[in-house]
A and B are shown apart, each in its own frame.
Chain A
Amino acid sequence: MAGTGTAHLHAPEEAMLRVENLTMEFPVGRTGLKVHAVSGISFDVLPGETLGLVGESGCGKSTTGKALIQLPAPTSGSVRFDGQELSGLKGEGIRKLRTSMQMIFQDPISSLNPRRKVRDIVAEPLHIWNIGTQDERRKRVDEVLETVGIDPNNADRRPHQFSGGQCQRISIARALVIEPKLLICDEPVSALDVSVQAQVLNLLEDLKAKYGLTMIFIAHDLAVVKNVSDRVCVMYLGKVCEVARSDDLYARPAHPYTSRLLTSIPVPDPNIKPDPSLRIQGELPSPMAPPSGCRFRTRCPFAQEKCAAEEPQLRDIGLGHYVACHFPLVGAGSASEA
């Protein structure tokens, strides 16, 4: 899987965010080895769109999310946001940029300072950027808290007095208080119960409509990603496997990895018996020495010699559905052309 290529990108002027050949490598001590966390991925996000990034732990989805806000800056590759190239930015430039790109994290409790009042936590971005008078800030904070479903009368409490779901709402309020254009959600619901998860997902949808937000939604749960995303980008070991409109991806997954991911999801229906033969076998290869060619080939039931020799490129199989596989499961003629 997992190829490179930029065939799936929209015209640069259409996209709000355009990422090309993003690479992120981390040195391993003084061994001279490198962890290839993200290896030349490209994707874009249109204004008002929600793009889902899915994959297992270690596929580089969170690293990608953080690289977008230059936290830290990527090893190479280009990130263009609203026409502005971010990869060379330093200091003040990056700080300014982060007012329009905000991020929320997985663990809602540890991402809030336990010693501060919720009101101060949410007001912090306004304070940093010196936006409004004290009264205006207070009003704005109350308004945002109200929107995310936290009673502003409780804003003088501290995070430990709220539940996990409420803390996630507070994190969302903090991200939204300075009216960002792009919200990056990194596994925002995976630490929550199913019932609370549903509340937070609905809230994100409401906020998107209300503020006209553009979102990148990072998660490992495909059902959750499908619910909120317009388009989904499937990642594996630092590469992109497949990009498609979300309904299309689920209706006809073209990459063997996507298809196996889909069958791993537990279905709340006792009549559908889990089938162990459809599991992805084995362990994720080490990102320090990723396999040659297609990175998924070591675990792919359909892998052939070509998969080891040649890295597949993302290509169109119709309806804006792109796959990086030499032998995709759908797409007429694709297998014979190889």
Chain B
Amino acid sequence: MSRQTLQSAQRRADSATLLEVRDLRTHFRSPRGLVRAVDGVTFSLARGKALGVVGESGSGKTVLSRSIMGLLPKRTTVRSGEVIFEGLDISNYGAKQMRDLWGTEMSMIFQDPMTSLNPVVKVGRQITESLTQRLDLPKDQAIDTARKLLGDVGIPEPSRRLNEYPYQLSGGMRQRIAIAVALACGPTLLFADEPTTALDVTVQAQILDLLDEQRRDRNMAMILVTHDLGVVAGRTDEIAVMYAGKLVEKAPTRALFANMKMPYTEALLRSIPKMEDPSHTRLQVIGGRPPDLISPPPGCRFAPRCPYAQERCRVEEPPLVEAETPDHFYACWYPVGSPEWANAQDRLNTVANVGGGA
């Protein structure tokens, strides 16, 4: 049912779909059993749009992007579902076929710019490598392109930097180089997996601005994976919230912030310290931890940590349904704002008041 509603909505949406993922499941074999890292995720992404994928550690957001890009070890990964890219079913592509897409069609930047670049290869060669191999550019032309790319990603003195090694650059500079490498062959889809988590706030802002600007200039779609709702708020068209391998809410960014349906999304937002609150304001926390993905709880996977959970939540899994606003989907029996949710909240408040008075 969840798939039907999502798909029908997608058919209504524009035909400029770049990526379509249907019921993607990515499980890993482990000595203790199958780890259900991604467990039935369906979504689509239009050309040139930015999608934010948000969730805590272990929610499956990184595995989702790597699974789409075919970067997971074949031996231990069990994958099912469909991945349609540019109208092409790439679900069963092997490494060799995927390699034709990497760089030219889809590329990825990673969290840690210290380890994602080769430490013993000069920056210039790391960029020209894909240009000469994939695009068959002659060497001098590749170097010119690399120089221009470095300028695009905001690196001063590009000619000098081409001959430097990664260790000679700061973290922010390295992330800019990693972005240049990813953009070199003009991909139509860029995965940015926590691209700023290892960086300072000031550098983070610069890198996010840069990604935004390059995405617009190149009409490239982007999937921005992060645990911080603040990072995706001003910079994405849509947001998908993941929890324990499932997509639990997906909506256009503004609609999501205006009207969060899933208690998990709301809790994530509330746990961020806000600048406008006075100091020593008590933060709202999500109690407990994400579930074990080898044997996730029955019913709604968030139920054990959800303050509003009722009997039904622990038994029956909520489907992804459409909200009153278009393109807004959520998987919750008693979403924020429903009468049952309001009752549960009243009860919680009473308990809190009694507890506080005692």
B205 in contact with A270 (CB, 8 Å)? no
Given contacts A228-B280, A247-B279, A266-B228, is CB(A221)–CB(B201) below 8 Å?
yes
A272 in contact with B204 (CB, 8 Å)? no
Q: Which residues of B contact A29 (CB under 8 A)?
A: none
How many residues of chain A get a CB closer than 8 Å to chain B's CBs? 49
Q: Which residues of A contact B257 (CB under 8 A)?
A: 268-271
Q: Does chain A have a CB within 8 A of B56?
A: yes
Q: Which residues of A contact B203 (CB under 8 A)?
A: 56
Interchain CA distance A267-B277 in the complex, whole Å: 13
Interchain CA distance A230-B200 in the complex, whole Å: 23
| Contact-size category for B | 35 or more
Q: Which residues of A contact B202 (CB under 8 A)?
A: 56, 260-261, 264, 279-280
Q: Does chain B have a CB within 8 A of A273?
A: yes
B273 in contact with A264 (CB, 8 Å)? no
| Chain A, 103-153, CB within 8 A of any chain B CB | none
Q: Which residues of A contact B281 (CB under 8 A)?
A: 227
B267 in contact with A195 (CB, 8 Å)? yes
Q: Does chain B have a CB within 8 A of A284?
A: yes
Picked from B209, B231, B283, B285, the residue with its CB within 8 Å of the CB of A227 is B283
| Chain A, 198-248, CB within 8 A of any chain B CB | 198-199, 201-202, 205, 220-224, 226-230, 246-247
Interchain CA distance A262-B276 in the complex, whole Å: 11
Interchain CA distance A202-B282 in the complex, whole Å: 6
Interchain CA distance A223-B273 in the complex, whole Å: 6
B201 in contact with A194 (CB, 8 Å)? no
Instruction: Give the nearest-CB partner of B253 in chain A.
Output: A270
Q: Mark A40-64, 1 if CB is under 8 A from B, else 0.
A: 0000000000000000110000000
Interface centre among B213, B233, B267 (most CB of A within 10 A): B233
Interchain CA distance A272-B229 in the complex, whole Å: 13
A283 in contact with B173 (CB, 8 Å)? yes
Q: Does chain B have a CB within 8 A of A265?
A: yes
Interchain CA distance A230-B212 in the complex, whole Å: 36
Q: Does chain B have a CB within 8 A of A274?
A: yes
Q: Which residues of B contact A274 (CB under 8 A)?
A: 205, 208-209, 212, 234-235
Instruction: Give the nearest-CB partner of A220 in chain B.
Output: B200
Q: Does chain A have a CB within 8 A of B297?
A: no
B200 in contact with A268 (CB, 8 Å)? no
Q: Mark B215-249, 1 if CB is under 8 A from A, else 0.
A: 00000000000011111011100000000000000
Nearest CB of B to A275, in Å:
9
Q: Which residues of A contact B279 (CB under 8 A)?
A: 226-230, 246-247
| Chain A, 152-179, CB within 8 A of any chain B CB | 163-165
Q: Which residues of A contact B228 (CB under 8 A)?
A: 194, 266
Q: Which residues of A contact B271 (CB under 8 A)?
A: 194-195, 197-198
Nearest CB of B to A47, in Å:
17
Interchain CA distance A264-B57 in the complex, whole Å: 24
Interchain CA distance A199-B56 in the complex, whole Å: 14
Q: Does chain B have a CB within 8 A of A276?
A: yes
Q: Which residues of B contact A229 (CB under 8 A)?
A: 279
Instruction: Give the nearest-CB partner of A232 in chain B.
Output: B279
Picked from B172, B269, B289, the residue with its CB within 8 Å of the CB of A283 is B172
Given contacts A202-B283, A274-B235, A284-B170, is CB(A265)–CB(B275) below 8 Å?
yes
Q: Which residues of A contact B296 (CB under 8 A)?
A: none
A residues with CB within 8 A of B: 56-57, 163-165, 193-199, 201-202, 205, 220-224, 226-230, 246-247, 250, 260-274, 276, 279-280, 282-284
12 A–B pairs (Cβ distance < 8 Å), ordered by A: A196-B56, A205-B282, A227-B277, A260-B202, A265-B205, A266-B205, A269-B257, A270-B233, A270-B234, A274-B208, A279-B209, A283-B170
B residues with CB within 8 A of A: 56-57, 156, 170-173, 200-206, 208-209, 212-213, 227-231, 233-235, 253-254, 256-257, 267-269, 271-275, 277-286, 289
